[in-house]
Structure 1
Amino acid sequence: MALNAQKPILISGAGLSSLLLAQSLLRASIPFLIFERESSITVRAQGYRLRLSQEGLTAIESALGPEAFQKFWDKCGKTGGSGFVALDAVTGLEISEAGKDKDQGKAHDKGLKPPPNSITSRDGKVVGIARGDMRKLFISGCESFVHWSHHVTGYELTSSGVCAVFADGSKSVEGEMLVGGEGINSKVAKQLSQGKLKVYDMGARGIHGQAPTTAFKGLGEGVWRFTDESNPSGRIFVITNVRSGDMDDPNVQFGWTMGAQPGVIKPPNEDYAIIGRPAAEIAKELTANWHPRLRPLFEEMVESEAAFWKITCSTPSGVPEWQNEPRVTVIGDAVHSMTPAGGIGANTAVRDSALLGRLLAEAGGYKDSVTAAYEREMRIYASEAVRTSYGMAKMQFGVSIDENSGTL
């Protein structure tokens, strides 16, 4: 990075959207610093494999540039096969087209737009990558600008910039502007919006898991969804992606994610610090009566990689308006948390990074008009995505929230 007289752009959080924004700034030789509350990039489980839409891939490509994007693309898995297949988890039989289209039909009846990304995104393939791999690629070249174990709890405007405020009361160096990208519990988002940005706990819980490729032999290549309507407590579903190129590699694991209606999956506590066996045992118990073709995914799972997750969503009506602050804005889950329905969340987050990065690069760094221009455009596509994500989850999970529901 070329050092110059500019003060740095401060970024809170070292998640996907923050790191991709950093890549844009790196390419434009705009100074930046990242502050992350965790102690390293590997301190916790990184979650389920992400499916990338055409919009998401285009955003990542524009932020990374040709050479870095090629490395990213090479790391991505490309799944062909039979495409998307829905199975009854108990019988192992394929669900009819009418059954597969049921939720989409309901969405159409309710006037919801389908997710703005088809399941295939390039070359007729489903493109995906593990969140952990994606984060490692995005941090490449930015490592020396990341300050670990720095928990941002707010900010303080100065006469000529802004400082991040940390949990211990200390402050960062003065920056040109601050970008809040620290996820659903963002303190920057709450301060900036004066409480208008809210994240609702929808009550539904899920489990991420991984298993060796041998456990997936009964499925074959494709994107699979298993649905269990027999559980008396409510519907359970699992989604997984089986890539042909890795099927015979014993050193590769495939991931799956399980979701359910409220009350079905019950973690031992609500802080989600517990990973491993407690999550694995619940997953095995819930799938004990599933078809033999599917049970190996859970019986052979790597218990240490199992983790709980909760389904959250921002205000269903979309991203609210707040008084613009030229030196502070927010990206990713900090501004638009989404349910997993439709696979929209991460793809929308990287669009934020590409948009804000492009505006800053075009301006040559901070300008008074940048955050307003970013927020104006972001609200349009992100509000549509939040509404769609919530509407699909309401049908799939049987959840409902309103302005009086509990928030994080």
Structure 2
Amino acid sequence: MRIVVAGGGIGGLALAQGLQRAGVEVVVLEPDARPEDTGGYRLHLDDHACAALARLLPPGVLQAVSASAAGEQAFRRFSICDHRMRVLASETMPPGPRLMIGRIPLRTLLAHGLDVRWGSAYRNHTLAPDGRPRVEHDGGTEIADVLVGADGTASVVARALAGRPLARPVGVDGLAGKVPLDAAARALLPAALEAGPALAVAAGGLGVFLSVHDPARSAVDPLTCTEPTAVREPASLVLGPMAATGSFPCDPAGLDGPGLVALLGDLLHNWHPNLRELARRADPASAAHFRFRAADPGADPAPWPSGTVTAIGDAVHAMPPTGGQGAATAIRDADVLVRHLLRARDGATTVPLALHDYEREMATYAPAAVRESLGPLTVQRRLSGPVGGLLLRAAGGIAALRPTAVRAVARSRTGVRSTGFRTARSRTARPA
């Protein structure tokens, strides 16, 4: 069996690792010239993703991934704060394995030992009379038994299969930047970030995602990693404002790094002074603007007849970064698809039936991840609307909050998974 993967992102590389480990020939086509040529920030890998990586990766790569990441102690709680960083509500995370790792280190490690055709983008494919895909790319042509589209939110493979794009803008734009955490910057960090990330909201529609990323908090000694070695990023604060598309005071798409950092500071002009200073310290080289896109969580994620071509990750179930589930769900897809492809390789089923079974299983969890990722945007909109704005302004923000008020504002039709929100002055308040 020979597999061609179009796209060398997190899901595509995890898939290739699992297939190669099982003895399947696999080629990855990737337009980037090297693993480091990617955007992105800290990724959250949940218990499903951690278990999947343990099955997909060779022991040495798995060890290096663990040593390059912060563990579950770095994400014990998620908080919702006002613009002065006063905690309005917090959610205790359920126990279980979790990894927080930078996108570049994870991508670098997942590419280790694979046949990745860097600088070669997928262009098109046709099907031979026997159904095998003939894949055209910048470097030539590949013949495969299966083609897997792992080419992201604007997937060319998934669009060819579905006849239309599977993701659409959700009406929210985001900025992001990394703040290097030297001693002076650490002294400015809000207390709410000590146990995990936070979403800060203000009346008027601006929300800011904040998360400390410090791989030095890993439970695995990087000196235990030899082939490959661990890839640890310096500690940083990820700071990401988000607001309705078109609501920023200027068009972020036309700004360079320094211009985006200046915009970060302008957006936070009436926020907590420590946040303003942290925004000023953001590294211009890390600053970016992006438009949030998502698949329809109520639609079939794979609306095509099963054959010899399929797709995984953002190509089929794009989701905004607000849920921290995009990479984890792509890794889960890779694990499920490997299992079904190996059944076809071993003669227990056919390739079309294997892909059908993968697509059906993926549909049992991916739409829920999209809904949960949309949930924080709903919380932000409700807290920044007329009712939420009154709550944020009344009595300094916190004193006005009661369990019923938190439920009224944070209740989301998108079904945010929660172990229970606790307000600053209340017992646990669970969304109805």
Is the shorter-chain TM-score for this pair beyond 0.5, marking a shared fold? yes
What is the identity, as a one-letter code, of the residue corresponding to 1:32?
V
Contact persistence 1:38–1:149 (CA under 8 A): yes
Alignment-derived partner of residue 17 in structure 2: 23
Contact persistence 1:82–1:222 (CA under 8 A): yes
Contact persistence 2:241–2:264 (CA under 8 A): no
1:255 offset after TM fit, Å? 3.6
Where 1:293 maps in the other structure, the secondary structure is: helix
Where 1:223 maps in the other structure, the secondary structure is: coil
Contact persistence 2:5–2:149 (CA under 8 A): yes
Greater Cα offset, 179-188 or 34-43: 34-43
Tell me, yes or no, if structure 1 residue 363 matches structure 2 residue 344: yes
Alignment-derived partner of residue 188 in structure 1: 157
Decide which of 317, 323, 328 is 1:342's aligned counterpart.
323
TM-superposition CA deviations, 1:251-281 (whole Å, max 9, x none): 82314141322034467465x8x65222211
Tell me, yes or no, if structure 1 residue 393 matches structure 2 residue 377: yes
How far apart, CA to CA, are the structure 2 residues paired with 1:392 and 1:212?
26
Alignment-derived partner of residue 312 in structure 2: 331
Alignment-derived partner of residue 3 in structure 1: none
How far apart, CA to CA, are the structure 1 residues paired with 2:307 and 2:120?
24
- Give the number of equivalent residue pairs: 359
Tell me, yes or no, if structure 1 residue 198 matches structure 2 residue 166: yes
What is the identity, as a one-letter code, of the residue corresponding to 1:308?
H
Where 1:380 maps in the other structure, the secondary structure is: coil
TM-superposition CA deviations, 1:55-109 (whole Å, max 9, x none): 12111211114443222112111253793263645434332x3xx47xxxxxxxx
Taking structure 1 as reference, are residues 260 and 395 closer, same or farther at Cα in structure 2, changes over 3 Å only?
same
Decide which of 132, 137, 162 is 2:133's aligned counterpart.
162
User: TM-score w.r.t. structure 1 length?
Assistant: 0.79
Contact persistence 1:352–1:378 (CA under 8 A): yes
1:165 offset after TM fit, Å? 2.9
Tell me, yes or no, if structure 1 residue 122 matches structure 2 residue 101: no
Contact persistence 1:318–1:382 (CA under 8 A): no
Contact persistence 1:206–1:257 (CA under 8 A): no
Q: Which residues in structure 2 correspond to 1:41-60 (within 5 Å)?
A: 41-44=35-38, 46-60=39-53
Alignment-derived partner of residue 176 in structure 1: 145
Q: Which residues in structure 2 correspond to 1:249-260 (within 5 Å)?
A: 252-260=234-242
Greater Cα offset, 28-37 or 14-23: 28-37
Tell me, yes or no, if structure 1 residue 380 matches structure 2 residue 364: yes
Taking structure 1 as reference, are residues 315 and 38 closer, same or farther at Cα in structure 2, changes over 3 Å only?
same
Alignment-derived partner of residue 284 in structure 1: 265
How far apart, CA to CA, are the structure 1 residues paired with 2:215 and 2:146?
45
Contact persistence 2:29–2:116 (CA under 8 A): yes
How far apart, CA to CA, are the structure 2 residues paired with 1:133 and 1:321?
30
How far apart, CA to CA, are the structure 1 residues paired with 2:252 and 2:206?
22
Alignment-derived partner of residue 8 in structure 2: 14
Q: Which residues in structure 2 correspond to 1:75-94 (within 5 Å)?
A: 75-78=68-71, 80=73, 83-84=76-77, 86=79, 88=81, 90-94=83-87
Decide which of 193, 200, 208 is 1:237's aligned counterpart.
208
Alignment-derived partner of residue 70 in structure 1: 63
Contact persistence 2:252–2:289 (CA under 8 A): no
Taking structure 1 as reference, are residues 81 and 136 closer, same or farther at Cα in structure 2, changes over 3 Å only?
closer
In the alignment, structure 1 segments of 5+ residues that lack a partner are 1-5, 102-117, 400-408
1:325 offset after TM fit, Å? 3.4
1:368 offset after TM fit, Å? 3.5
How far apart, CA to CA, are the structure 2 residues paired with 1:82 and 1:345?
17
How far apart, CA to CA, are the structure 1 residues paired with 2:181 and 2:297?
38
Where 2:173 maps in the other structure, the secondary structure is: strand
How far apart, CA to CA, are the structure 1 residues paired with 2:212 and 2:128?
49
How far apart, CA to CA, are the structure 2 residues paired with 1:370 and 1:88?
46
Decide which of 110, 113, 116 is 1:146's aligned counterpart.
116
Where 1:42 maps in the other structure, the secondary structure is: coil
How far apart, CA to CA, are the structure 2 residues paired with 1:183 and 1:260?
21
How far apart, CA to CA, are the structure 2 residues paired with 1:288 and 1:56?
38
How far apart, CA to CA, are the structure 2 residues paired with 1:90 and 1:200?
29
1:390 offset after TM fit, Å? 3.0
Identical aligned residues as a percent: 26
1:121 offset after TM fit, Å? 5.4
User: TM-score w.r.t. structure 2 length?
Assistant: 0.75
Tell me, yes or no, if structure 1 residue 131 matches structure 2 residue 115: no
